[in-house]
Amino acid sequence: MYDREQLKEQAAKALDKKAPLGPDIDLMGFRTTSESYEYLSDEELKTLPDEEVQRLLLAGVDVTEEGRGGTFFQKDTSVIHCESKQEGIEVIPIRQALEKHDWIRDYYWKLASVDADKYTAAAETNLHNGYVIRALPGAKSIYPIQACLYINTNGLQQNVHNIIIAEEDSELHVITGCSTSPHSKKGAHVGISEFYIKKNAKLSFTMIHNWAEDMVVRPRSVAQVEAGGLFLNNYVCMKPCRTLQMYPTTHLVGENAVARLNSIIVGSPGSEYDVGGRVYLKKPGTRAEIVARTISNGGRIISRGHLIGEVPEIKAHLECKGLIIKGGLIYAVPELEGHVDGVEMSHEAAVGKIAQEEICYLMSRGLTEDEAVATIVRGFLSVDVPGLPPQLKAEIDKAIEMSEKDVM
Amino acid sequence: MLLIEDLQVELAGRTILKHIDLEIKPGETHVLFGPNGSGKTSLLMTIVGYPQYKVTGGKIVFKGVDITYAPIDERARLGIGMSYQRPPTIHGLKTRQMVQICARSDVDVEGLARKVNFENFLDRDVNAGFSGGEIKRSELLQLMSQGADLMLFDEPESGVDIENIALVGETIARLLEKECSATATKSRLQVRRDRTKMGLIITHTGHILDYVAVDKGQLLFNGVMSCSTNPREIFRCISEVGYEECVRCTIENS
């Protein structure tokens, strides 16, 4: 049993520490307890009310578990389902891991700092749960593991900590959906994620957010990729959310490690998103690519990107493209930092509108103006992710398609 | 039938087409000659219905419907199609999807693509990084899928290499139903008479005339339709004495 005393002390000192980015949130305004929910079997999972199933589908979570290699499902503070159906891939609630497995100490708060800000501190002080997903050495996941963090109680602050470990030569795919119940509009989600991609391992992590109008979201993620490892991180958020701020960081610490970060954000009115990606390239031969596509539909979006090249022979590119459709704001902040001779880094940022020429071109093929605009927007949001299994690509496309009607 | 009467068009406040009369009957194909900046592309864009080309006089009637002020998509659905010279890139939209959009129903995309040797491009974004010749084949593929009755071609042979020029020329001929042979019930002449497809082709080089039987040549000069006669005749005249002289000869003749 890991008593975490020192961590708790550190956290206690940071409970009021403001984050450098994003509006400061008074966490006192949220409740941190909820009723507990029964564990559900595979069969019981399928009997969830239809409106909940629909909300989950929008976040890429399929309760039938079809085409999934396992499921982790946390409702408020309770884990209601946790199971891996694939050999060599483990899915464990983090509280259980902290109680039973000593190895978790090598990972828990080893990349993210517990005293980074009040949110990381809160996640330690009052940890509800979260998941540990681990692919054993050489294990190859055929189907993605799905993880769902679901807020059922209005006004709840959900604190989770997730750890994903892809051991040497393994291949792991995870799709995480975060959603609120149809009745819950207000809440806070604090999620710590630490990713360990070991030598020659491959991890694809796809996160889809399906929040509600009055949600406060503060994910804190750090990844570490060892030699020859590949980290694909996809993020999709097309739904409103009062304020969301995150700046996931990836450290490429082994030669030829690769990170690709893609994000798709649609900013709805009344919503504020401050989202970025940061990659440290610390060994020769490492490569990083950050691609962000944002559409403002009346919301405010700050799209950040930061690449830090510390050694020669690294290659990194940042692409930030924004489309303003119905007012709002898009603030693109691309940053490049080369510390030595021989780095190759570039960025491309553009904020604009849909070109009339493209609309007319499609109309001359028979589409109405609305259909033409929808087609262009869909194209804009479709990002090719090399290395992503087609099934996951289809999952992302589906989430985008299902949300599209709200965008237009 | 396409009927244009006394058409006057402004672009950004400047009159670019003056008193244009043009009649293309079902089954007919015309070519449009003229120096750079004479208004050829403007005329095509006006027929397609681009809103920045403002019609200030005259009318355009297609299949008996006055389309002078109709929106682009309405004209497209009525059967007007265009092969662009420099179409925009649409990121994230695959050529395959575009061909399906053109058809407005199920279509054998692969089969059509094979005809213009374009199967390898179907999964690329529309026009993204296409060479001049690739754009032309992509445009023809879209037109084949669209099945328009009036097809407008803006310099279909420009940028096309010598190997592909025949492919482009023959595809246009096929689109315009120029290849016709007798059937069990109809003589060759009858088949020809039953043709409905209409074409208007902008050309500088005249190469297209080697592949497509053209009924009439039109010469546009300074926004004015200056000559309408045998296309070979016009092309020979322009080649020998240039556009200006060519126009003068027709003015003197009239």
B223-242 pLDDT, tens digit per residue, is: 888 878 888 888 888 888 88
pLDDT the model gives residue A383: 77
Average the pLDDT over A274-278 and give the result.
96
Would you say B50 and A360 are in contact if contact means Cβ atoms under 8 Å apart?
A: yes
* pLDDT of B66 above 70: yes
Task: Answer whether B76 sits within 8 Å of A375, measured CB to CB.
Answer: no
Q: What's the Cα-to-Cα distance from A116 to each of A163, A276, B73, rounded to whole Å? A: 17, 17, 55
Give the whole-angstrom CA distance, residue B200 versus residue B2: 10
Q: What is the pLDDT of residues A211-241, one digit of tens each?
A: 989 999 999 999 999 999 999 999 999 889 9
Residue type, B172: I
pLDDT the model gives residue A238: 86
Task: Answer whether B76 sits within 8 Å of A361, measured CB to CB.
Answer: no
Give the whole-angstrom CA distance, residue B28 versus residue B20: 18
| A404/B129: higher pLDDT | B129
Residue type, B37: G
Give the whole-angstrom CA distance, residue B51 versus residue A32: 58
Q: DSSP secondary structure string, A217-270?
A: EEEEEEEEE-TT-EEEEEEEE-S--SEEEE--EEEE-STT-EEEEEEEEEE-TT
Task: Answer whether A360 sits within 8 Å of B93, measured CB to CB.
Answer: no
Task: Answer whether B88 sits within 8 Å of A358, measured CB to CB.
Answer: yes
DSSP state of A20: S
- In 3D space, the residue among A312, A311, A265, A308 whose CA is nearest the CA of residue A288 turns out to be A308
| pLDDT tier at B136, thresholds 50, 70, 90 | very high
Average the pLDDT over B17-43 and give the result.
93
- In 3D space, the residue among A330, A338, A334 whose CA is nearest the CA of residue A347 turns out to be A334
- In 3D space, the residue among B77, B46, B73, B78 whose CA is nearest the CA of residue B59 turns out to be B46
**Pair of tokens at residue A330:** 């898009």
Count Cβ atoms within 10 A of the Cβ of residue A13 and give its class: 0-12 exposed, 13-18 middle, 19 or more buried: exposed
Task: Please report which helix (H) or strand (E) contains residue A394, including its range.
Answer: helix A390-407
The verdict on ipTM greater than 0.85 is yes
**Pair of tokens at residue B61:** 């009637």
- In 3D space, the residue among A286, A104, A289, A83 whose CA is nearest the CA of residue A194 turns out to be A104
Q: What is the pLDDT of residues A145-159, one digit of tens each?
A: 999 999 999 999 999
pLDDT the model gives residue B252: 58
Give the whole-angstrom CA distance, residue B189 versus residue B197: 16
**For residue B158, which phi and psi values (nearest 5 degrees)?**
-70, 135
Would you say A390 and A362 are in contact if contact means Cβ atoms under 8 Å apart?
A: no
Name the residue of chain A whose CA is nearest to B71's CA: A363
Q: DSSP secondary structure string, A141-160?
A: -SS-EEEEEEE-STTEEEEE
The strand ranges marked E within A62-122 are 70-75, 78-84, 89-93
Give the whole-angstrom CA distance, residue A102 versus residue A107: 10
Task: Answer whether A366 sits within 8 Å of B104, measured CB to CB.
Answer: yes
| pLDDT tier at B192, thresholds 50, 70, 90 | confident
Q: How many CB atoms lie within 10 A of CB B32?
A: 26
Place of tokens 């994003």: A22
List all residues 6 or more positions away from B240 whose beta carbon is below 8 Å from its beta carbon: none
Distance from CA of A360 to the nearest CA of B (A): 7
Task: Answer whether A362 sits within 8 Å of B90, measured CB to CB.
Answer: yes
* pLDDT of B130 above 90: yes
**Pair of tokens at residue A147:** 């993880």
* pLDDT of A324 above 70: yes
Would you say B226 and B247 are in contact if contact means Cβ atoms under 8 Å apart?
A: yes
Task: Please report which helix (H) or strand (E) contains residue A98, including its range.
Answer: helix A94-100
pLDDT the model gives residue A404: 67
Would you say A4 and A124 are in contact if contact means Cβ atoms under 8 Å apart?
A: yes
According to DSSP H, which parts of A106-217 are helical?
A: 118-125
Task: Answer whether B92 sits within 8 Å of A366, measured CB to CB.
Answer: no
| pLDDT tier at A406, thresholds 50, 70, 90 | low
Distance from CA of A367 to the nearest CA of B (A): 6
According to DSSP H, which parts of A115-229 are helical?
A: 118-125
Q: Which residues of A touch B72 (CB under 8 A)?
A: 360, 363-364
Domains of chain B listed by start with CATH number: 2-253 (3.40.50.300)
SS3 readout for chain B:
CEEEEEEEEEECCEEEEEEEEEEECCCCEEEEECCCCCCHHHHHHHHHCCCCEEEEEEEEEECCEECCCCCHHHHHHHCEEEECCCCCCEEEEEHHHHHHHHHCCCCCHHHHHHHCCCHHHCCCEECCCCCHHHHHHHHHHHHHHHCCCEEEEECCCCCCCHHHHHHHHHHHHHHCCCCCCCCCCCCHHHHHHCCCCEEEEECCCCHHHHCCCCCEEEEEECCEEEEEECHHHHHHHHHHHHHHHHHHHHHHHC
pLDDT the model gives residue A66: 86
List all residues 6 or more positions away from B108 whose beta carbon is below 8 Å from its beta carbon: none
Give the whole-angstrom CA distance, residue B229 versus residue A95: 87
Q: What is the pLDDT of residues A21-75, one digit of tens each?
A: 999 999 999 999 999 999 999 999 988 898 888 888 888 888 888 889 999 999 9
* pLDDT of B182 above 80: no
Give the whole-angstrom CA distance, residue B37 versus residue B142: 27
Give the whole-angstrom CA distance, residue A162 versus residue A107: 10
Count Cβ atoms within 10 A of the Cβ of residue B78 and give its class: 0-12 exposed, 13-18 middle, 19 or more buried: middle
pLDDT the model gives residue A61: 87
Strand pairing partners for B7? B20
pLDDT the model gives residue A407: 60
Q: Which residues of A touch B84 (CB under 8 A)?
A: 361
| A104/A1: higher pLDDT | A104
Give the whole-angstrom CA distance, residue A148 versus residue A87: 21
Average the pLDDT over A82-86 and give the result.
94
Distance of CA A370 to the CA centre of its chain: 31
Count Cβ atoms within 10 A of the Cβ of residue B192 and give its class: 0-12 exposed, 13-18 middle, 19 or more buried: middle
Task: Answer whether B142 sits within 8 Å of A365, measured CB to CB.
Answer: yes
* pLDDT of B247 above 80: no
> Among partner residues B90, B92, B104, which is closest to A381 by beta-carbon distance?
B92
Q: Which residues of A touch B91 (CB under 8 A)?
A: 379-380
Name the residue of chain B whose CA is nearest to A354's CA: B90
pLDDT > 70 in chain A, percent: 98
Q: Which residues of B touch A380 (CB under 8 A)?
A: 91-92
- In 3D space, the residue among A210, A235, A340 whose CA is nearest the CA of residue A290 turns out to be A235
> Among partner residues B51, B91, B102, which is closest to A365 by beta-carbon distance?
B102
**Pair of tokens at residue B152:** 């407008």
Would you say B69 and B56 are in contact if contact means Cβ atoms under 8 Å apart?
A: no
